[in-house]
Structure 1
């Protein structure tokens, strides 16, 4: 039967009409079909994690591997030629593609983003790659055409090898936009990319293409933490290792240092760690190794920190090398009265937000567990109460803003540590966890409390304090962030892990410090946003003991950059006075400067009084507040109106696993929930009755014992009885689903009786076997 075009599916139209036209006009190597743009958002529903479908373009046409130039969306012939245009335009805008096409097999609808023109063309009028490239070059820069440097950059491919991966669409956009800006002569460029989206990989591809194109020859990469420099050199920048040099003022020879192409340095090495030095002092130090025009490109990593501040020594480095093009990279651009990225670098050439990353499925979504103690909103000492040192405690109301900053309540620390431990025990005790504490002293107390509660893990490094002045802890940082090392599992910290450290496997972030800075809050949340699906990391949990996650309701969470004229984000009212405790990237300091009142459990007993689980969308808007038990109970009752209704459905359903699968679709993973409640030995039937209808649960062993005491097996003899006894034992160990099908008869305990069909013959055939198993199930669940 020959189909008419109207009877054809979309795939038929593509195969017979659209693909042949494209392949006649374009090199097949420059056509990608079913191009996957996103990974598909990860949704958290109940205790089930599911990926949504990714966004895919029917066709992407490429000028070269680094530059897509057209999107083509296909529809079947029952739709108009232009029906797929909106989708094509959406994908084209996402991918920075200048031409969008739609087709139903009769012709093409074309939209040109550069000229803003739309037209319909015949199938055979689709432009060749040469024609489209010519149009692209001539229409660039508002019709002025492409410059020689822009063309040079355009022709330079990305770095590629068997060990590397192609850039994601937003990384390609960021790279191309940056290169195009530099090719046009823009000497200050700002890139804003959320934590976990690959800023360093993006920087590497920018550097690689600029070096290969010859537009830049000497490049300086600046960071403020050794780990950021070492990570970059060893990982993303490793293909350039032969031409890379890490600056060391104590060892470098001015006569030989000039032979490299890419230089890495800490700000502190070039300009010192203090802002007290004058311009001449900084200039003199820099001049010992480099002339002012030595570098022609500087990349400023995490530029939201000190480099953005006008009076900082770090800014003086950028000013000394002012003739170089400078690229600022940050996840959280800072705009205050004193500090402005935009004032220095200009408006971002490209922004990829946390919201976009979560929506696209490249970043992990999260749940928030808000936990309140009975002293969170206020604790007042008794008249004349003293601390453990015998000192009178100042008579006032102490709140979350005071605990561990101005007063230490020992039992509060223990309560927090118990809550963290209980959560890990109910989920996964080996999941990487960061506990953000008020200061280094608090981080040490928290480490001790967590260690004592987890002594059974029998490992010295199960919990480690990783702070600026803790040399042992800092030595363990590379193991904590490693995806292959199990220990340390829990890191207690204050500031050191809040930014920069690439903690890919972090599944639990604990907030036990006050945070008034949106920049800092975003950076901390960013510690969990990386996805490692093959290693079991699809989402993360934020456990909040100080109501810090109220900041999700702040417009700044995923809103526009705004300048705050009144005060810096770090100085917002209500933020506790900072202590100098040494927890900075390179500082050395004491654990504590001033003596605080210390109250032991005899002076203040602390209890957890409220817990709330919240699910937010990528914009920080609250989607729902859920307790997994309440959520399960509500959904089960929504499916089964009463206990009798559920029991009837369960016992009448020949495949009981269908009920489990039905609940799974609603976001209820019974096995995971049973593990969390330490009820893995309970049958699903009993667990559902217990959770939803408040019935006392029986274990599978208890139900099996009841069957053995009954006269059920007396009805059978020989092999049939032995098979049923093995099936009951299988139920006791594995569950009801294991004995529902004849597949179980292929397992080792049954092989001595022959094939499944041979075993069924002892019951008079397959129907007799199935009836016997159904009778066994009826007895298990008490149905006579």
Structure 2
């Protein structure tokens, strides 16, 4: 045996032992020594097997060992040869032996030969003997059962939505094909969790899954998920999920082995794997925060084998909200388990798709959800103030209040010199109370004139003195900012503590209790949060989001917007907002330019979040020059630069000889592998190719230049740390603010309409509904329901992703029309929308049923006394059918009779009664006339 092979065998022996196997040589063979025995170099019919595995004295599998670095795919054939045990091992579980491993001690592959089209898969470690025994005693393998699941146990589709049916069907097809990872994209509010619970039930009941892990983004969402399992009614016998199967929220006590479903954050799961305690507050931080949107991202966390949590602990892992930290910070936690990975997300990124092997089994975007009435769309309303847009100025010689960030203790101090405060520093280093007050006041003043103009009349009709403030969520920059906002909201609205509350980690009461109150309590109208309910939290009555913080991550912003998209039954909405009517949209109020700022999904810079700032500076002074240290330091310096005043920046530049922006840029360029190549080609020509030595010299020079101001200037390092630790915030009571502009986002509306027009032009000869509306004469310019549905589905698909209801709203904003309550509710409104787009001067933008009703009444007036009351009753039915379906079909007799049968069945009246009402007169010519007049 060579030295590399000997080293590999030592690693493999250790790994087998950790998983509960007793490793023996042939000379030491004693199958009674324990549950699982691994015998080295036992000769088989195909040659000497590196290890033969025995459980309860019977052979169950083989392990083929190779030296570190050798590839393993070709070794599987060798392992399979050794599993023929009929003539050389009398005591065996099956023949051939079912399980094979190929390993180098670094990489390990596993195969269950009983699987259909069995193939090897990578595993983190060896399975325990008890697990292999459990597997071999089952009549078939999990993957065999998964292959049969779709056909053997058809999905009960009630009460699932179409998008949920598509998701489950697609996922089960993927699982049947033994694809290890699958991603479901489902719009926020479309029922991702209910879909996952339904799938979990089918996997446990019909596929024999033993344990499922359900990972959530934060602790309060875990409790929400457990509640979803508790409320789930099984489709076959009507019992509750938790009456049949145990569900636990993972806590300090660990994983309950009798629980079929374990719900946890990935932070808590990691703490269990590594035996490190977890702070309860850490369990409440979103992975989106760790992506650089509110907290740092980190290098992947190390994971080693934990015998208390073997790799076979879970058969399936469902990851709800797949943010980027899953793929860098936590991916080794997921890779640890020998389990299928199922991702749920409303906002997939390139990293998400890559991690799940681009196996997107269902796609249900927000625009399609809006078109289907599963989500509501949104309007953007902009509030611009002078200080929000341009910052402010602290004047020399005036007293300003200083507030400690941590203790909130206040003192007064005279401003030494004039200081310009950029808008990015607002509410961080400088707070201008009148800026917050002005935004809140503008929001209050425009609430019932611009944002929800129908509410005063609706409130009056219900006998209410004043309209109810719609449930509103305000996003703040940090806890102190949230505290200031709460104060101003209560003052500007003239309300008490119950009207507006903070929902942050420092809010006092349990967060889930505050969230529950916001969801259900009528008196609690406005919540202020930083990020606690920015993702996942289900608050259906929300009708307004007010952004007083900017967000740089596109995915995080989409998640935050998703809080407003959920639909709610009008009756349920009325219990908390009596004058709301129905929720057909939500309003995104942008007071900071969040809808206009550039968004990115680039990888965050922070690699060493646990290393304090002063220690990073010290490491650089000691000569540490690795990429993680330099990029992390650049990230800290960039954040510090955003929070400093101009005078602080000038002081630092004077001492260090360089601005913080330039220092940050130099550090990043020094770690950029392409920067050295660009420098070389700038010096030697665009086509020149440097040697590795030349590139190395350029990189070393860039690192030396970038770090020199820090490495050689102790006073500069000390001042940087002093500025970072400055805990005081200046309260600018002197500056007054004013509103510069308010109004809906017209640019968004115009862009949406242009995309809609482009769709119509491109597809006018391809889609039947558009062919009719564009090309047929008015007399035959009517549609049927299925043609309209096809049109709505076509425009919602890529590359347009347009919800017609959003186009309708865009026209209303630009044309200053009174808002329509819910244009998406009636599919035939598409007829009006297309006609208005083609001929805006002569085709009014009005709900199609209203136009039909007006034309119908005009037609009736022209008929005089022609029809009896019984005939009028059926004419009304025909009119309503046209209004909701586009036409009453008469082209074929079969369609004609079916239409009559349908309206009869809805009315509960026999067909003969309808015919009798018209006597000998065939109503078909009348129907044709109504189709022409009412739809024209």
User: 1:445 aligns to what SS in structure 2?
Assistant: helix
Q: Distance in 1 between matches of 2:266 and 2:602?
A: 26
Structure 1 residues 441 and 279: alpha-carbon distance in aligned structure 2, compared to 1, 3 A threshold: closer
Q: Distance in 1 between matches of 2:398 and 2:564?
A: 42
2:368 aligns with one of 356, 360, 364 = 356
Structure 1 residues 193 and 209: alpha-carbon distance in aligned structure 2, compared to 1, 3 A threshold: same
Structure 1 residues 377 and 287: alpha-carbon distance in aligned structure 2, compared to 1, 3 A threshold: farther
User: 2:392 aligns to what SS in structure 1?
Assistant: coil
Over the residues paired in the alignment, what is the CA RMSD in angstroms?
4.0
Give TM-score scaled by structure 2 length: 0.44
Please list every run of 5 or more consecutive structure 2 residues that lacks an aligned counterpart in the other structure.
Answer: 1-142, 232-239, 272-277, 283-296, 402-411, 453-466, 574-581, 607-631, 644-723, 753-800, 821-842, 851-936
Give TM-score scaled by structure 1 length: 0.52
Q: Distance in 1 between matches of 2:189 and 2:728?
A: 38
Q: Distance in 1 between matches of 2:253 and 2:417?
A: 54
Tell me the equivalent position of 2:585. 539
Tell me the equivalent position of 1:319. 335
Question: Are 2:755 and 1:604 aligned?
Answer: no
Tell me the equivalent position of 2:34. none
Q: Return the structure number with greater relative CO, CA threshold 8 A, min gap 6.
A: 1
Tell me the equivalent position of 2:345. 330
1:665 aligns with one of 846, 849, 861 = 846
2:188 aligns with one of 186, 189, 195 = 195
Superposition pairs of residues 763-774 of structure 1, within 5 angstroms: none
Tell me the equivalent position of 1:519. 555
Q: Distance in 2 between matches of 1:624 and 1:665?
A: 11
Question: Are 2:437 and 1:410 aligned?
Answer: no
Cα drift, residue 442 of structure 1: 0.5
User: 2:310 aligns to what SS in structure 1?
Assistant: coil
Question: Are 2:201 and 1:208 aligned?
Answer: yes
- Aligned residue pair count: 455
1:497 aligns with one of 525, 533, 537 = 533
1:446 aligns with one of 462, 485, 489 = 485
Q: Distance in 2 between matches of 1:212 and 1:270?
A: 25
Structure 1 residues 341 and 633: alpha-carbon distance in aligned structure 2, compared to 1, 3 A threshold: closer
Structure 1 residues 478 and 493: alpha-carbon distance in aligned structure 2, compared to 1, 3 A threshold: closer
Structure 1 residues 248 and 524: alpha-carbon distance in aligned structure 2, compared to 1, 3 A threshold: closer
Superposition pairs of residues 636-655 of structure 1, within 5 angstroms: none
Cα drift, residue 278 of structure 1: 9.1
Is 1:612–1:625's contact at 8 Å kept on the other side of the alignment?
no
Q: Distance in 2 between matches of 1:619 and 1:577?
A: 40
Tell me the equivalent position of 1:245. 247
Q: Distance in 1 between matches of 2:320 and 2:558?
A: 16
Is 2:146–2:172's contact at 8 Å kept on the other side of the alignment?
no
Structure 1 residues 393 and 497: alpha-carbon distance in aligned structure 2, compared to 1, 3 A threshold: farther
Q: Distance in 1 between matches of 2:473 and 2:563?
A: 9
Is 1:244–1:261's contact at 8 Å kept on the other side of the alignment?
yes
Tell me the equivalent position of 1:150. 147
Cα drift, residue 537 of structure 1: 1.6
Structure 1 residues 634 and 265: alpha-carbon distance in aligned structure 2, compared to 1, 3 A threshold: closer
Cα drift, residue 597 of structure 1: 4.0
Q: Distance in 1 between matches of 2:222 and 2:315?
A: 20
Q: Distance in 1 between matches of 2:527 and 2:641?
A: 24
Is 2:250–2:263's contact at 8 Å kept on the other side of the alignment?
no
Superposition pairs of residues 450-465 of structure 1, within 5 angstroms: 450-456=489-495, 459-465=496-502
Is 2:395–2:419's contact at 8 Å kept on the other side of the alignment?
no
Residues 155-208 of structure 1, C-alpha deviations (whole Å, 9 max, x = no match): 324467xxxx52211211111111111111111111222211111011112111
User: 1:665 aligns to what SS in structure 2?
Assistant: coil
User: 1:201 aligns to what SS in structure 2?
Assistant: helix
2:505 aligns with one of 440, 459, 468 = 468
User: 1:401 aligns to what SS in structure 2?
Assistant: helix
Cα drift, residue 220 of structure 1: 0.8
Tell me the equivalent position of 2:667. none
Cα drift, residue 544 of structure 1: 0.6
Tell me the equivalent position of 1:134. none
Structure 1 residues 193 and 276: alpha-carbon distance in aligned structure 2, compared to 1, 3 A threshold: closer
1:550 aligns with one of 581, 596, 607 = 596
Is 1:222–1:266's contact at 8 Å kept on the other side of the alignment?
yes
Structure 1 residues 430 and 174: alpha-carbon distance in aligned structure 2, compared to 1, 3 A threshold: same
Cα drift, residue 152 of structure 1: 2.4
Cα drift, residue 629 of structure 1: 11
Residues 54-109 of structure 1, C-alpha deviations (whole Å, 9 max, x = no match): xxxxxxxxxxxxxxxxxxxxxxxxxxxxxxxxxxxxxxxxxxxxxxxxxxxxxxxx
Question: Are 2:163 and 1:183 aligned?
Answer: no
